[in-house]
Structure 1
Amino acid sequence: MLLIEIPVAILLGLTLSLRGWARPEEQSGAPTMDWIPVLWLGGFTLGVLMVAVVFLLSAHPYAGAVQLLIAAMALIFTMTAWDQESERAHPSPLPTCPTRAGTPCTSSDSATDR
């Protein structure tokens, strides 16, 4: 199973990283959350977890334990992708500017500060 899962994981990682390069960054307004990496990684995690359960139920405890470890690592990658997409879609607000009450601080431009 590892000989099948390793190339699938590499292909999934390569596909998702190349997909990120093609993402247009000139969108206006707040970006939406991109669920595709989270869903693909979550599907891979569930697939590995199902294989682990099959191994454990068919009296192959060592193979099942290895699959559970791989599923745990895949779950970490899934949660990391979700966190990154969530932070990209919901950026933290700018701090308020002490010189202008209630307005967010922006880069200072001497032409607009006069």
Structure 2
Amino acid sequence: MSLIALLIEIPVAFLLGLTSVIHGWGRVDEQAAASPMDWVPVLWLGGFTLGVLVIAVFFLYSAHPFAGAVQLLVAAIALCFTIAAWHDQYERAHPRPLPTRAGMPPLNHVTDR
């Protein structure tokens, strides 16, 4: 039963990753301007993580500790990808401000000679 669940999760995770990459391809030109967060990859990965956690709890509850441990490991990896996707979207939506030129004269400064 654990092997079946794992064999189902692998193609689902692959398709989820593929759709997330394809979803982001159209936004290469929009990287220059700040845009609102795109929650689609975060919600998809979060839903996958939640599904794997439900399967892990089911296995642990039905006295299959090894299968539950494998599912918890898969859920931990999926959670890392979810957090990385959230962080990527947050950084894209909230870019760092450009550094100021503190202590330096303005570029168009005319000096008296």
Alignment partner, residue 95 of structure 1: 99
Structure 2: distance between partners of 1:26 and 1:88 = 10
CA deviation map 1:83-109 (0-9, x unaligned)? 0100010011111113357xxxxxx8x
CA deviation map 1:41-99 (0-9, x unaligned)? 00000000000000000010000000000000000000000001000100111111133
Structure 1: distance between partners of 2:34 and 2:95 = 9
Q: 1:30 aligns with which of 31, 34, 56?
A: 34
Alignment partner, residue 56 of structure 1: 60
Compare the two structures and name the one with the higher helix fraction: 2
In the alignment, structure 2 segments of 5+ residues that lack a partner are none
In the alignment, structure 1 segments of 5+ residues that lack a partner are 102-107
CA gap 1:26/1:37 in 2 versus in 1, 3 angstroms: closer
1:34 to partner: Cα distance: 0.6
Q: Match of 1:11, as an amino acid?
A: L
Number of positions where the alignment pairs a residue of Structure 1 with one of Structure 2:
104
Q: Secondary structure at the match of 2:29?
A: coil
1:30 to partner: Cα distance: 2.5
Alignment partner, residue 88 of structure 2: 84
Q: Structure 1 vs Structure 2: percent identity of aligned residues? A: 64
CA deviation map 1:16-47 (0-9, x unaligned)? 10111122634885311111000000000000
Structure 2: distance between partners of 1:28 and 1:95 = 16
The higher-RCO structure (CA 8 Å, 6+ apart) is: 2
Structure 2: distance between partners of 1:9 and 1:55 = 20
Structure 1: distance between partners of 2:24 and 2:32 = 18
CA gap 1:31/1:66 in 2 versus in 1, 3 angstroms: same
